[in-house]
Amino acid sequence: MVIRPIRVEDAEGLLDQMAQPLVVAFTGQLPSTRLEGRRQWVEHLGPADHVFVAEVDGRVVASAGLHVQRGKRRHVASLGISVHDAFQGRGIGRALMATLLDLADNFLALRRVELEVMADNPGAIHLYESLGFQVEGRKREDIVLQGRYVDVLFMGRLRQP
């Protein structure tokens, strides 16, 4: 496995990864996303967007991003991650998270990293808790999961001084 910064030419692999049934189910992604939209998303990443992909045998199988806020929240970043269905449970998500948290702590000196996760995703919640994230709140019936409304949890991690 290789973890590296995203490139525009990763758009097609990213589209495949993001169209997987579990990725669509447990993220805000829609199965109707097209290649051009994914390419534009990559092209429009700014200097505060730190996005990495994981490759296995030259194939993009996961992606994760750390998005640093501005102004009075410049010490905070939001985090998002997804792993191709066929590659879940292999430590790829943990490795991407470790890459982003190392960047947050040791290069950007961020104080806080936050994320949102569906309350019906115990595997992801367990991973995040094992990396120091804590549940800080809940948005009731915030997102649709397989035709029903489910809660979304706010989770945050504070870097210890």
In tens, the pLDDT along 14-70 reads: 989 888 888 888 888 878 888 888 899 999 999 999 999 999 999 999 999 999 999
Query: Looking at 27-41, 113-127, 145-159, which range is the least confident one?
Result: 27-41
pLDDT value at position 114?
98
Q: Are 149 and 119 in contact (CB under 8 A)?
A: no
Please list, residue by residue across 89-100, b when 16 or more beta carbons sit within 10 angstroms of its beta carbon and e when fewer do. Answer: eeebbeebbebb
pTM of the model: 0.92
